[in-house]
Structure 1
Amino acid sequence: MKRQGTLVRWEKERGFGFIRCAEVSADVFVHLRDFADRGLTPQVGMTLTFDEIHVGGKGPRAVAVQAAGAMPRREQQQPRRPAASPRPRTDRCRDAAPSSSSSSLPMMLLLPAYAALLGYGVWTTRIPPIALGVLLLISLLTFVVYGVDKNAATAGRWRTAESTLHLLSLIGGWPGAWCAQRLFRHKVRKTSFMAGYWATVLAHMAAVGAWVGKFLPAGLLAL
């Protein structure tokens, strides 16, 4: 059934919000991908028409969302423009390859250096062997948190704060974060986030290097 309501909340960064409709008891969840006009910029206060659905026992959700008064888009009524020649798939692969390899190269250098630093720290007794297990668990935890956040982004649920992801990287989970970014294709296109991520990697490496190099007092570990 077609309904009409007012957009009362919109989370721009997360791409979802809520519509208030007099005919529905609860605010209706709406995701950016459910707008019929992908060029529309949702704004709080705008009047929207939508179809109400219920999925998996959750609250009401809006689909086929349009600004009130907007005409449905009918591609067959629009004049056809000459189709641009598609770029060969091989060209796209060549374009993507430098970006992937350029981001992987620093990590391929950092991981062996990090392993050597930890190994030297254990050999000199500056790092207890149990710390290696703890760091591995933190990396695994970070990997899982990234996966959960990617799933939440796809489903339109509440997201993990970027500060939490950075904190996990800073305390030693950055290898797991890097693996999750590549496997889930998550956050890699956001320049500001990736800049923060690399800052946590360098800060962690610097802290471990200072500890192993005895630039930090041994008594600090007891704190």
Structure 2
Amino acid sequence: MKPVLRKGQLTTWKDDKGFGFIRSSEGNQDVFFHITALQETNHRPQVGDVICYQLRVDKNGRVHACNAFIEGIVSKPILGISPSVIEKPTFKPTAKSSLIFEVLLLSLLPTLGAIHFAFTTFNPIPLILYPVMSFITFAQYADDKSRAKQGRWRISEKRLHLCEFMGGWLGAFIAQRRLRHKSSKVSYQVVFWVIVAIHITFWLNWLFLGRRLIGLFLGSVFRG
């Protein structure tokens, strides 16, 4: 049976959760619409957009939109093509190399600072906290993306930012690049990079200012 292309207006959209509802032009039926049903586009859905879509019924009998595109934004998709056969971008070795370089560059100063901190204070907590929290934060990102695809309740942005602030920002950076999650929302990225700047500034001060203060303190102790 040939799929039917329908059209409706987006009447509700929750951008932070990635879903909304389409009011069908054929009646008053509201159709559930998730961001993963949208064909690739740089345009974020907004209330008032005209959405062209097909209907699909999941295993629980719920009707939702699929193979959707925003009218006037992208070209009309070929009907009958399953999202699973749509060619997805592949990560070339150059992209992986670029990610590795970025991670090394971002982690260099905090790593040196944490090592210096451990040797001067005999406290290894930062060296342990960064990798542990990065792993936890990456897992939180992966879980949140999975929830978004399934239309389930999302992990709050405050919780993700808290994990980043507690030392998991490097894991968050890797997740953003590898999972393509939370990487295009400007307001989220602003808070994320503020957190990164706080950590890097702290270790910058520790290495180049804190060491001097420690030297002055030890010198005054020995002179006394």
Pick the TM interval, shorter chain: 0.5 to 0.7
2:179 counterpart residue number: 184
Matches within 5 A, 1:56-71: 56-57=59-60, 59-63=62-66
**TM-score normalised per structure 1:** 0.56
Q: Is the 8 A contact 2:34 2:149 kept in 1?
A: no
1:119 counterpart residue number: 115
The Cα of 1:123 is off from its aligned counterpart by 0.8
1:108 counterpart residue number: 104
SS of residue in 1 equivalent to 2:60: coil
Q: Is the 8 A contact 2:113 2:206 kept in 1?
A: no
Q: Which runs of 5+ in 2 are unaligned?
A: 71-75, 79-91, 215-224
Structure 2: how far apart are the matches of 1:206 and 1:74?
Answer: 48
The Cα of 1:180 is off from its aligned counterpart by 1.6
1:145 counterpart = 2:140: yes
Q: How big is each residue's C-alpha offset from its partner over 1:5-51, in whole Å with a ceiling of 9 and x where there is no partner?
A: 99663224544223689998xx7522255579x99x6647x999974
Aligned counterpart in structure 2 of residue 200 of structure 1, from 173, 195, 203: 195
Structure 2: how far apart are the matches of 1:33 and 1:180?
Answer: 18
2:155 counterpart residue number: 160
SS of residue in 2 equivalent to 1:142: helix
Q: Is the 8 A contact 1:51 1:65 kept in 2?
A: no
SS of residue in 2 equivalent to 1:128: coil
Structure 2: how far apart are the matches of 1:147 and 1:170?
Answer: 18
1:79 counterpart residue number: none
What is the percent sequence identity of the aligned residues?
Answer: 31
Structure 2: how far apart are the matches of 1:10 and 1:132?
Answer: 42
Structure 1: how far apart are the matches of 2:77 and 2:143?
Answer: 37
Code of the residue aligned with 1:30 in structure 2: it is F
1:29 counterpart residue number: 32
The Cα of 1:190 is off from its aligned counterpart by 4.4
Structure 2: how far apart are the matches of 1:109 and 1:50?
Answer: 45
Aligned counterpart in structure 2 of residue 169 of structure 1, from 157, 164, 176: 164
1:16 counterpart residue number: 19
Q: Is the 8 A contact 1:51 1:63 kept in 2?
A: yes
SS of residue in 2 equivalent to 1:183: helix
Q: Is the 8 A contact 1:28 1:59 kept in 2?
A: no
SS of residue in 2 equivalent to 1:124: helix
How much is the aligned-residue C-alpha RMSD, in angstroms?
A: 4.7
**TM-score normalised per structure 2:** 0.56
Number of residue pairs matched? Answer: 187
2:85 counterpart residue number: none
SS of residue in 1 equivalent to 2:12: strand
SS of residue in 2 equivalent to 1:182: helix
